[in-house]
Chain A
Amino acid sequence: MSDFQYKNEERIIFTKEMKKTYKILIPNMLPIHFELLRNILIVEGYDCDLLKYEGEDVIKEGLKYTHNDMCYPCLLVVGQFIYALKSKKYDVDKTALLITQTGGGCRASNYIHILRKALKKAGFPQIPVISINLSGLEKNPGFKFSIPLIKKLASALLYGDMIMNLYNQTMPYEIEKGSSLKLKDRWVLNLSNQYKNSTGFGKKIMTKNFNDIVSDFSNIKINKTKKVRVGIVGEIYVKYSSTANNNIEKFLHKENVEVIIPGILNFIIFKADNRIVDIDLYGGSKIKKYICVEFKKYLEDLQKIFIDSIKKNKNFKAPASFEETKKGVLKYLNYGVKMGEGWLLTAEILELINSNIKNIICVQPFGCLPNHIVGKGMIRKILNNNENVNIITIDYDPGATKINQENRIKLMLASAKENLK
């Protein structure tokens, strides 16, 4: 019932020919994950560049080519692409763009279309845009999803989550400054090399890699002082992209805070889970449900290995599994709430509180529709049900100034520090 039907759209197809000669530009949405993702694509024979442009000029281009009231992530992604294309660094007749597409009732499902519109207006109608999605939305002969590729990409997300998680647990306490960062970079390189040798994504090797990553991070010398711990949840792009969130992680680290950011894997499982729930609530194809159930199971199996390998080490706290995260939220929302981050956002807040992380920042683009419900809409109830919880919400958009945002964070940190005593 929620399947898309796309008929004869007019779009530039990414052909097999293009694969050989084109450069693919990818927006950098999660630093570690996307680094791995790019390296996988390079191994697959694509020529790719990860875009790291940020700042005023990117925003300017975004403002020029998207509607005033469009959400900030859309504006940034469009701005970043157009800025890159105008930079003369790329041959615009031999460049393609890659963007993720989630589908669903949130505006994000339209980013790709708005991007194409913007490209036309900016004078780059010839540029093909490749959609990465799990719904079989748009197909391109030059960019095919084989099962091994999907497995590789899934493994990259898990590795990314793990490195991010352990890095965040280690870095604030490291004795030798920079040692966690070095290790992080080393593992990104190591994994990329594994992909090059067509390995790294089977269950067995993943188990080994997970264990090795955990053990490497646990070998970093730390001094576990008592620090304020702050969890970050929110709209997926603003939550992870430093371009969008004015580098909130760095700011918090400077304020002597341990930052906890829930990984992306649960979001992917959430998207699969939605499709299953949807069929239960509104009817739909049994075959589709079966596929989704299988895909979800595959990811959850990997998640179990992931969690177990962290649990084995006493120094680290493992994140909660998808099912655990999902359980707690029913008191707040029904599982049908699926648009955007849906019930998962609320569930992540609850999960953080459960793990005794009571300082939480919920970030979102200004005017984010789903977050009126699952973010801001649930906070009152969360505060009523939980003691000493300290949540703030911060809106991001081109006009919001860093000083206001940091001021608000400082305020929450002041209370957090008091609670720490």
Chain B
Amino acid sequence: MENLIYKIGLDVGSTTIKSVVLKGEEIIFKSYERHKSMAVQKTIELLFKIKQIIKNNPFTISITGSAGLGISQKGNIEFVQEVYATKIAALKYKKDVDVVIELGGEDAKILFLSGNKEVRMNGSCAGGTGAFIDQMAVLLKLTLDEFNEVALKHKKIYTIASRCGVFAKSDIQPLINQGATKSDLAASIFQAVVNQTIAGLAQGRQIKGKVMFLGGPLTFFEELKNRFKETLKLEEKNAIFPENSQYFIALGASLYSASLTEKTNIDEIIESLKKQEKKEIKTSLSPLFKTEEEYIDFLKRHKKSDVKTKDINEYSGNCFLGIDAGSTTTKIVLITKDDEILYSKYLSNGGEVVSIVLNCLKEIYEKIENSKNKITIKSATVTGYGEDLIKHAFLVDFGIVETVAHLKAARHFVPDVDFVIDIGGQDIKCFKLKYGAIDSITLNEACSSGCGSFLETFATALGYSLKDFVKKGLFAKSPVDLGSRCTVFMNSSVKQAQKDGASIEDISAGLSTSIVKNAIYKVIRAKSKEELGKKIVVQGGTFLNDAVLRAFEKELEINVTRPSISGLMGAFGCALYAKENQKESSTILNLEQLKNFSYTVKTATCFKCPNRCTLTINTFSDKQTFVSGNKCDSYKKDEKPKEIKNIVDFKYNLVTNLPKKTNKKRKIGIPLVLNMYENIPFWVPFFEELNFEVVLSDTSNKKLYEMGQYTIPSDTACYPAKLVHGHIESLLKKDVDFIFYPSMTYNFDEHISDNFYNCPIVAYYPEVIKANVKTDKKLIIDPIGLNNKKFFEKKAFEIFNKYFSITKNEIKNASNKAYEGYLKYKQKIVEYTKDAIEFANEKNKNIIILADKPYHIDPEINHGIDKLIASFDSVVLTADSISFLTNEKIKTTILNQWSYHARLYTAANFVTKTKNANLLHIVSFGCGIDAIVSDEIKEMLEKNNKLYTCIKIDEIANLGAVRIRIRSMFAAIEEAKKNKKQIKEHIYV
């Protein structure tokens, strides 16, 4: 069959290039390789290879893939959309397939081939893809093969946020630090990918029938396949993993090309690609360094901020130990009484922080023993994610919060420093100083973290070491402008740059600049560079890269101080703290104890409350145990609880215990979600008066969420909204006649705002439920308003009369009870609030007001933040409790028209007037209205010298990061107190 035409299919993705050449039905050539961001060049090379095979015979060709679009234009090759190409191949080879799931480097796709044909791919979120697994493998220090192998041996699956890579990472990191095994983590990461695919892509459409799995990750990772099969409950015969899975899309492109006009000259394509290979890129930045001399000057300048070191053999006397057990690295510093460094280490922990510290301590003791002089570790301090664990394991004297440690170190170099920024592996931390006290602390929100480690992962993905990769950018001629949003989006920007043919050098310099911009404009949210201050200290491992440092200085247009020990600042600060607070003798384990040191890690689940925390239990050689993963202290059996005032707990118990009446014949189900947390005290008496038994949905938890996940249509809606689906599912399983969840555009007018809207999500989520959840139960979602009692009665009669027989009089009675019930509820809140404030004043305690919404009392939504704050011996109140108490309308510069948010202004105003009160703004990821509100509250508080702290929460279940923020907040509150005293003393002296 000589005259069969060659069909060439190219698939150029974000990280790899694949090709297939068909002759007739037969694959005569295929290839798969990483293109290391040199997509055009690799395509040319590949075409040369293909030319060797097909010679000068006629052929057809088409190209697909995310980087293929650009190349298609450059080389004048027909482009076929990749999902479409997949579909062509799937239909050709596996006719009876119902669903295709394909995971690629940065893309995830799902195709529904039977029934209503649909194709979906991931949008602005690149989480749950191959790149995500790569990133996680780097984090666990495993090759991809090892990663798969250990995953197969897992015993337990942890819950890891499946929305985006950055979130997942902040879930995994603490687990690593707590000593979770790599096997369990790897498997959990695969599970997260599966969840992301189902939630993010299927978006409500059920995946059933024969499912075909495609793409690199699904070819190579056995355990990922298992996770999919298990989660989708697929029988063996319905899970199809075809041969040549990684070439499948290229195969589709090749098949598609059959419909195109024949070509004869492959050189023509190669030539036009070559011409385009080195085209200038439009948006580029000025070079970091124009000349070698500029770079040398820069190095000289930064050399000045050096720390003296001293040979341990030449020293005698006391020394002080600082340990920074960070999220990805562990740093240890030992200093003399004159602050000289005797010993220092900067190590990647790869998940084993305890053994790293153990080895370092042994090394230090050995050095001390070998020295002729007497050296004593007088005291030691630890900070960082692993603080608690290390403190317990080695009996370290002090544990301090990271921010305090960093500030101590920064002051050592620039005593009048007014701004410190630390970019570490996973976090950006920065704080402003005013009158020598911490004025505000900013940590990166969950959505834009991953700074340093992102660079590293990217370097690795492109086949470079971090150092080499960043270095490449130093003299880049035209750095690519990669934008300044979160790292996930950066991925796409890089993709675009690759498409435009940017060089590695330019991409490297661009990424360094992006991280800096991200820090300044996203995390610190600086409006102008002057805002940061004049005396700036930068630190953290990421700033050890000259390119990043330079980009930072260029962006701010000022010179900053980078201590030579930039990466060790946390540990150095700890050592300084140890020196300042030294005791008679240190409790830290001695060499003898270290030699006998051993520890084991176990996991367990706590059943004391609905949170069902996964506990990681470390048992040390002295039989001491250390438990982490807990959200509260209830796992400890015997301790007597302290007196706590926590209105979140109070409200939650109040609301969930409201339904009293039972009636087997008439049952109405109400989902305990969003605004219902506020309205239950209204509806329960209403329906009970109408002789209904009110059945509330089950308690929120991850399981409940997952139960409803398959009907969620918009994955970027807030978590409280997405939880509604689970609540409705739980009601569907109950014996109820109706499910009541009305649309509510408005709330009660509390006279604290210009209008009294609900946000669009709260107002209309019932409509989403109606349109997306199949139910055999009657769903009552009619719009209703409660503000006008008379009008309510009129409308309520119209509505309920449609569903069951009822008289106007019955409605009237029920309505009386409902308004009464709601009023009573409010009164109870006010009483509790008054009590709590009095209690705080009497006992001299801090009051922390959660600037929250009614649904934030759900433990699955707040992740136990309230209990965490209470455990710091503070009184916890909420926005509504304050606004019910004061009823004050606050003047705002913006339109104050949403009821729940209006309460936040009222609460903030209360804080400005109350000495021992501080505010913590709780924002659910995706809350658009809080974007407006947070700036306004921040201004209100700062004008009155109060701290503004904001915590963004999502599905993330780990409190590690939240704990740091809250501790920092308390440290700042304490500093402010001290500082005020000092100022006062000044005045009165």
Residues of A within 8 A of B (CB): 1-6, 10, 56, 63-65, 67-71, 105-107, 109-110, 113-114, 116-117, 121-122, 278, 281-283, 332-334, 336-340, 366-381, 383-384, 387, 393-395, 397-404, 406-408, 410-411, 413-415
Contact = CB atoms under 8 A, between A and B. Distances in A.
B940 interface: no
Interface string B69-96: 1100000000111111000000000000
A366 B716 contact: yes
A302 B70 CA distance: 47
B643 interface: no
A395 B124 contact: yes
19 contacts: A4-B755, A63-B484, A68-B931, A105-B759, A105-B760, A107-B928, A113-B893, A117-B894, A339-B745, A339-B764, A367-B926, A372-B721, A377-B771, A377-B772, A398-B485, A399-B492, A411-B82, A414-B84, A415-B84
A283 B791 contact: yes
A383 B116 contact: yes
B197 interface: no
Given A110-B894, A411-B119, A403 B69 contact: yes
A414 B935 CA distance: 44
Contact of B124 (A2, A334, A397, A406): A397
Interface in B27-72: 66, 69-70
Query: What interface size band does chain B fall in?
Result: 35 or more
Interface stretch (B333-341, B562-570, B782-790): B782-790
Nearest to A282: B785
A67 B935 contact: yes
A411 B717 CA distance: 24
Give the most central of A281, A282, A368, A410: most B CB within 10 Å: A282
A3 B927 CA distance: 24
Nearest to B795: A281
Contacts of B928: 69-71, 107, 367-369
A414 to B, nearest CB: 4
A399 B846 CA distance: 40
A378 B771 contact: yes
A387 B763 contact: no
A283 B486 CA distance: 45
Given A372-B761, A383-B118, A410 B69 contact: yes
Contact of A56 (B481, B743, B931): B481
B767 A56 contact: no
B473 to A, nearest CB: 20
B123 interface: yes
Interface string B474-517: 00000001011110011011011001000000000000000000
Contacts of B745: 105, 278, 281-282, 336, 338-339
B934 interface: yes
A259 to B, nearest CB: 19
Given A366-B124, A372-B717, A383-B116, A377 B66 contact: no
Contacts of B897: 4, 105, 109
Contacts of B782: 334
Give the most central of B117, B525, B716, B932: most A CB within 10 Å: B932
Closest 5 CB pairs of A and B: A399-B485, A399-B489, A336-B783, A69-B931, A414-B84
Interface in B779-814: 781-785, 787-788, 791, 795
B80 A414 contact: yes
Given A333-B771, A400-B489, A407-B66, 20 more contacts: A1-B787, A2-B746, A4-B754, A70-B932, A107-B929, A113-B895, A117-B894, A336-B745, A338-B745, A366-B124, A370-B760, A372-B713, A372-B760, A377-B713, A387-B116, A400-B124, A410-B79, A410-B81, A414-B81, A414-B83
Nearest to A6: B754
B205 interface: yes
B493 A380 contact: no
Given A70-B931, A105-B760, A410-B81, A117 B489 contact: no
B522 A377 contact: no
Given A69-B928, A282-B746, A369-B759, A109 B895 contact: yes
A263 to B, nearest CB: 24
B121 A65 contact: no
B683 interface: no
Contacts of A387: 116
B220 interface: no
Contacts of B69: 403, 406-407, 410
Give the most central of A116, A332, A401: most B CB within 10 Å: A401
